[in-house]
Structure formats: structure tokens, C-alpha cells
Amino acid sequence: MLNRRHVRIKVMQVLFAAYLSDEKPNYRFYEKELLNNINRLHEIYLYLLVFLNELAYFAEKYDDEMKANLPFEKAFNPNSRFYNNLLISSLKGNKLLDDECRKNLVSFNSDDVDLLRKVFVDLKNNEVYKEYIVGDDTDIKNDFEMLAYFLKFYPFNFTLLDQHFEDAFLNWMDDAKVAVNMAVKSLRILSTEPENQEFIIPVSNEVDNVVGFSTKLLKLCIENKDYFHELIVPKIEKWEPTRVPLLDLVILNIGLAELMYFETIPVKVSINECIEMAKNYSTPNSRKFINGVMDSLLFDLEKSGKIMKKGIGLIDN
């Protein structure tokens, strides 16, 4: 499931394009871009579950082919635990998963069977896999741990698979860890309740509507672009405003929107999140720059009564 830190990054990316291309950005256009970007995370998550299914299906065919091609006198008794494990059985032909994949146009390309072969051959030589297949084949906890290990390790450490995901999903590098965590969470639900038909993780829920947070944040930054610019420019004159990286200005806009219009987000959280975005996505000097400018903006906003936070401890005195 998405969290606010992750959607801030998505808002930052969309705002960068908006500020770069338009004098007066069209909110509806960029809102659509933002929602499409968020949905692409959901597509990666679904694809990870589909890939597990396809890998297990290939593993069974692989063993069948090996058995068929060996001389009769050379017995081949493959261990079928990987493709017959209880979690894979729960995913196979699962109507909820199939419907969600159909709705989001998520499917595995049959032309990629060579990738499955290379992944499975490598997996067969993995010590974690070797230990798993000799264990108790009725222990769903071990089934979960094996599949969770695969999801957490192989997409990032098996080069061909990492490249496959990067080619298939433009947002793979930004969304990979969140998507993997969502897939692991789905498997964990099935490991405790194999018949659970609510194991698909929604992008957001009614309790913590991060999608609503993201669209509101985007709208505020677009609608208040000129106003925020007036607040920021006096604080960056010594850095020459025209030479400040556009991404830093985007991050400052996000920070201002949160400080001024999100009553329940603590000041410290908003500033720290802006610093983290600068650290991870902008220039080496941006972290200190954002920190200094945000502190100065906060001082002025508090002095003029423009920060209205609700709840104990939301403003640092």
C-alpha cells in the first residue's frame, strides 16, 4: 500500500513536468498523469504475483521435460514442492487476481519463457531454495518464506530479471520496493487465510487516503504556484533564483503547501520529508539549501499566523 512519503515523490515528479512545460499548468491534465503514475505501481504489484505463478508453472514443465528426455534407466524424481506449494495453489486461477489483472491489463508475455528458464535454473542452485525443497511440504509458513525471499531478492539481484522489470515498467526503480512489499503482504495474508478473497492490496484505503492526499497536494501546488514563488524568492536571492535547480523549487512548493494547508501534518514531518526528497533526487547541495530555506519560510509563516495546525505537538516551538 502506498504511503505519504511515496506519493510525495510522485507529486514531485509530476510537478516538475508541470512547472517545466507550462506557465499556468492545467491541473486536470497533471492530476490524470499523477493517478496514472500511481496506478502503474499497482500494475507492478500485480505483475509480481503473476510472475510467481508463471515461474511455478514453468518449473513444473521444466521437470516434466527433463523427465521425458532422460533414458528410461535413469530415473528422475524431481521435487515438486515449489510448484505445488499451498500459496501457489491459492494464486493459480484465482478469480480475484485474474479479474484485477484483466482490469489493469497486466499479463505475462509468453515470449519471455527464456527468462523464466534462466531464473529457475539459477533458483535451483540457490541454497535457500535447496533447503526449502527438502523441508516439510505441508508447512505453509515455509512456502511463504520461500516466495517472500524470491520477491525480495531476485528482482534486485538477478540482473536479467531486474532488466526485465525495468523494460516493462518505466517507474520500476521508484516503485519496486513498495510493489514488492505489497506482494509480500498479499502472500502473508494467504499464508494465514488461504481462502481469503481480500488478499489483493488496494493502493489506498478509506482510513488513510494517500491518493486523496496526493491529488490535494498537487492541486494546491499548481493553484498557488505564483503565490509560493512570491514567498520563496526573497529567501533565495543570495543564491540567484534563476540558478536554483527547478527540482528544489518544486520541493519548496510542496513544503509550503503542507505547512500552510494540511492542518494535521506536523511541521517537522513536512520539513524532514522535503529534505529527504532533496537528498535523494536533487543536487549534493540541495539538502542544506532546502533545510535553510524551509526554516526561514517557517519563521515568517508562524510570525504572520499563516500556519494553522490542529493537535498537540504539531508545531515545534
Tens of pLDDT, residues 294-303: 999 999 999 9
- For position 287, which CATH number holds? 1.10.940.10
For residue 201, being part of any structural domain is answered with no
Q: Please check whether residues 53 and 160 belong to one and the same domain.
A: yes
**Mean pLDDT within 283-312:** 89
Neighbours of 264 (CB within 10 A): 8
- Does residue 186 lie in a domain region? yes
For the chain, the domain total comes to 2
Q: Smallest Cα–Cα separation from 288: which of 257, 258, 244, 254? A: 244
Can you give the residue range of the structural domain that contains 108? Answer: 4-192
Instruction: Show which of 192, 214, 241 is a domain's final residue.
Output: 192
Same domain? 43 vs 185: yes
Domain shared by 125 and 28, yes or no: yes
The pLDDT of residue 317 is: 44
- Spatial contact of 4 and 213, defined as CB atoms under 8 Å apart: yes
Cell of 33: 498523469
> What is the pLDDT averaged over residues 27-37?
94
Full 3-state SS string of 127-144: HHHHHHHCCCCCCHHHHH
Is residue 101 situated within a structural domain? Answer: yes
Quick one: pLDDT at residue 289? 94
Q: How far apart are CA 20 and CA 117, in angstroms?
A: 44
Helix or strand (DSSP H, E) at 206? none
What pLDDT does residue 66 have? 74
- Is 24 domain-assigned? yes
pLDDT at 241 over 70: no
Same domain, 17 and 118: yes
Q: Does 309 reside within a domain?
A: no
Give the model's pLDDT for residue 32: 95
Whether residue 311 is contained in a domain is answered as no
Question: Is there a single domain that holds both residue 15 and residue 164?
Answer: yes
Q: Are 214 and 10 in contact (CB under 8 A)?
A: yes
Is the domain of 187 the same as that of 254? Answer: no
* Same-domain status, 126 and 257: no
Asked if residue 214 is part of any domain, the answer here is no
User: Are residue 240 and residue 133 in the same domain, yes or no?
Assistant: no
Least confident of 38-52, 148-162, 172-186, 237-251: 237-251
Summarize the confidence of residues 103-125 as an average pLDDT. 94
Query: Do residue 79 and residue 228 come from a single domain?
Result: no
pLDDT digits over 86-101, tens only?
899 889 888 999 999 9
Q: Does the structure show a pLDDT above 60 at 114? A: yes
Q: What is the pLDDT of residue 125?
A: 93
Distance CA(29)–CA(69), nearest Å, equals 57
The yes-or-no verdict on residue 35 having pLDDT over 60 is yes
Cα separation, 85 vs 96, in Å, equals: 19
What does the pLDDT read at residue 259? 96
| Mean pLDDT value across the chain | 89
Q: Are residues 124 and 268 in the same domain?
A: no
Q: What is the pLDDT of residue 65?
A: 80
Residues 284, 185 share a domain? no
Task: Tell whether 12 and 158 lie within a shared domain.
Answer: yes
Classify residue 144: in a domain, yes or no.
Answer: yes
Q: pLDDT above 70 covers what percent of the chain?
A: 91
